[in-house]
Amino acid sequence: MSLSNYSASLIRYPDLGFSLDTSLMDLDASWLEGMSGKIEKAFVDLQKLEAGEIANPDEGRMVGHYWLRKPELAPTDELRAAITGPLAALKEFAVKVHGGEVAAPGGERFENLLLIGIGGSALGPQLVNDALGHDSQLNIHFFDNTDPAGIDRTLAEIGQTGLSRTLVLVVSKSGGTPETRNGMVEAKAAYDAAGLDFGKHAVAITGEGSKLDKFADEEGFLAKFPMEDWVGGRTSVMSTVGLVPAALQGIDIDDFLAGAAAMDEETRKADAGTNAAMRLALAWHAAGNGKGEKDMVVLPYKDSLVLFSKYLQQLVMESLGKSEDLDGNTVHQGIAVYGNKGSTDQHAYVQQLRDGVPNFFATFIEVRKGRDGDTIEVEPGNTSADYLQGFLRGTRKALYESGRKSITISIGEVNPFTLGMLIALFERAVSFYASLVNINAYHQPGVEAGKKAAATFLDLLNAVRGRLTADPKNAAEVAYEVDGDPEDVYHCLNHLAANGEVQIALGDTPEGDTFSL
């Protein structure tokens, strides 16, 4: 570790208060030289993507999330209008909600938001809320799963009386995601039970013509905001998906977009020496040998960024985790991402990072400012912020001393602008990395397999339900009747027993368990 090595390895954008330090990644100059052809191609690929090329060939779609913060970039007037129109509309909607012009049927002002969505249709709003929502004009709650207990917990937080003052945002690009549909059905049931008109409390954010879009029309939703097919779920936080809730919360969405636009501007420059997103992609490539051999451990040293690692988990893993490259070769690409926050994890998993399996590189996120306003000394001469900085610097060094590499990203403070900057940085690094390893970062075929298998399980579950009688039967007998896999049938029966639909009599092993009505 030396100041000259640090200086030589640092990319900084002083106007943005941003820097990226890859000095502890030991990037080799000759390796970088050898990558120059791929680097050039990656710059060209991203230029073409931003110019509207079909960058998602499997789905035949353009990839337009970079236009969201610079609509002038969008290749046609129609696409530009699809960004600026909804942006103006959602701002106006937020003003009306805040002013009480859009209110609950009884005239009560909305005080709460309930966002129903999953994956990219929830993670962005959750990150934005956690990082920036401390002074929120409306309290936000989430249904991001089909877990009934989780739904009940959230409804209890809102409370029976709070429901009438709660605006529900149902967010689904496809408009057909089962978890989100279930969440909406559960929310509607809660409104019905409270004698409230769900539609008069609800807003849909979805693709035009989707099931949700039609349901919103049928139920007379208060408003609808479109989601375009050229914005992927995991990069949708700067579309209506992230901006509607953020504007309703009173978060400065113009600053958020401006931060992303500023990072885009810097990382649009085709110069590997100064382009932080390209440097990040190269560091990932070098660490994992271009094959994801090392996991990415994300450690923001700031409580308000704790969800950033979870957010990046979807952005990176859903984008890069692919079985085939663009030429159809089997490659099984990806980078595993996990993390939480520092210094908290020094008391949890940093022990393994320092001394255990060396299968990762760390990404520290440093926020230079400790807190707004006055601070106190926690001991003579030192503040809590001094300690946080000490732990970050100390851990980084301790890891390096035991051969564990790390990247350090620094920002001045957490605000809408800097959060926008960070998100844009990683989005562009993902785009570059995908080009470097020649994969399509913009589809997610693997997710479909689990969805299909879940649908098959539900069909089996319903068939099993139809076979239950007062006479006890074991799983093999029911499986024979429904022509199903005995183990799957056993799990159906066990599920029904756990939820009080059937009685279970335990045998010596699951094969001997019997079930009856």
Ligand X SMILES: O=P(O)(O)OC[C@H]1O[C@](O)(CO)[C@@H](O)[C@@H]1O
Binding mask 293-322 for ligand X (x = CB under 6 A): -------------------------x----
78 catalytically annotated: no
Tokens 């007062």 belong to 470
Q: How far apart, in whole angstroms, are the C-alpha atoms of residue 396 and residue 400?
A: 6
The stretches of 133-274 forming alpha helices (DSSP H) are 148-158, 178-193, 211-219, 240-249, 253-267
Neighbours of 205 (CB within 10 A): 32
- Count interface residues toward ligand X (CB under 6 A): 14
Instruction: Region of 483 please: left (phi>0), alpha (psi -120 to 50) or beta.
Output: left
134 catalytically annotated: no
Q: Which is nearer to ligand X, 458 or 476 (CB)?
A: 458
118 binds ligand X (CB under 6 A): yes
Q: For the purposes of burial, counting CB atoms within 10 Å of the CB of 402, is it exposed (0-12), middle (13-18) or buried (19 or more)?
A: exposed
* Residue 165 CB, nearest approach to ligand X (Å): 26
Instruction: Region of 471 please: left (phi>0), alpha (psi -120 to 50) or beta.
Output: beta
334 binds ligand X (CB under 6 A): no
Q: How far apart, in whole angstroms, are the C-alpha atoms of residue 501 and residue 255?
A: 53
* Residue 157 CB, nearest approach to ligand X (Å): 23
Tokens 């992303």 belong to 260
* Residue 34 CB, nearest approach to ligand X (Å): 34
Q: Which residue is nearest to ligand X (CB)?
A: 233
Q: Which is nearer to ligand X, 117 or 342 (CB)?
A: 117
* Residue 128 CB, nearest approach to ligand X (Å): 15
Whether the CB-CB separation of 52 and 46 falls below 8 Å is answered with no
Q: How far apart, in whole angstroms, are the C-alpha atoms of residue 53 and residue 73?
A: 12
Q: Report which DSSP code applies to 295.
A: E
By CB under 6 A, the residues from 170 to 199 that bind ligand X are 172-174, 177, 180
- Which residue out of 179, 228, 318, 427 is catalytically annotated? 318
Q: How far apart, in whole angstroms, are the C-alpha atoms of residue 338 and residue 352?
A: 14
Q: Which of 447, 454, 455, 517 binds ligand X (CB under 6 A)?
A: 447
Stretch that binds ligand X, among 81-89, 151-159, 167-175, 244-252 (CB under 6 A): 167-175
444 binds ligand X (CB under 6 A): yes
Stretch that binds ligand X, among 9-17, 114-122, 162-170, 507-515 (CB under 6 A): 114-122
Tokens 């024979």 belong to 480
* Residue 198 CB, nearest approach to ligand X (Å): 19
Q: Which is nearer to ligand X, 227 or 482 (CB)?
A: 227
Q: Which of 64, 86, 119, 339 binds ligand X (CB under 6 A)?
A: 119
- Which residue out of 269, 369, 397, 451 is catalytically annotated? 451
Whether the CB-CB separation of 194 and 163 falls below 8 Å is answered with yes
Q: Which two tokens stand for residue 236?
A: 């949708």
Stretch that binds ligand X, among 15-23, 53-61, 113-121, 421-429 (CB under 6 A): 113-121
On the question of a cis peptide bond just before residue 343, with omega within 30 degrees of 0, the verdict is yes
* Residue 232 CB, nearest approach to ligand X (Å): 7
318 catalytically annotated: yes
The stretches of 337-415 forming alpha helices (DSSP H) are 350-355, 384-401
Stretch that binds ligand X, among 68-76, 135-143, 168-176, 458-466 (CB under 6 A): 168-176
Residues lying near ligand X in the complex (CB under 6 A): 118-121, 172-174, 177, 180, 233-234, 318, 444, 447
Q: Catalytic positions, please?
A: 318, 347, 451
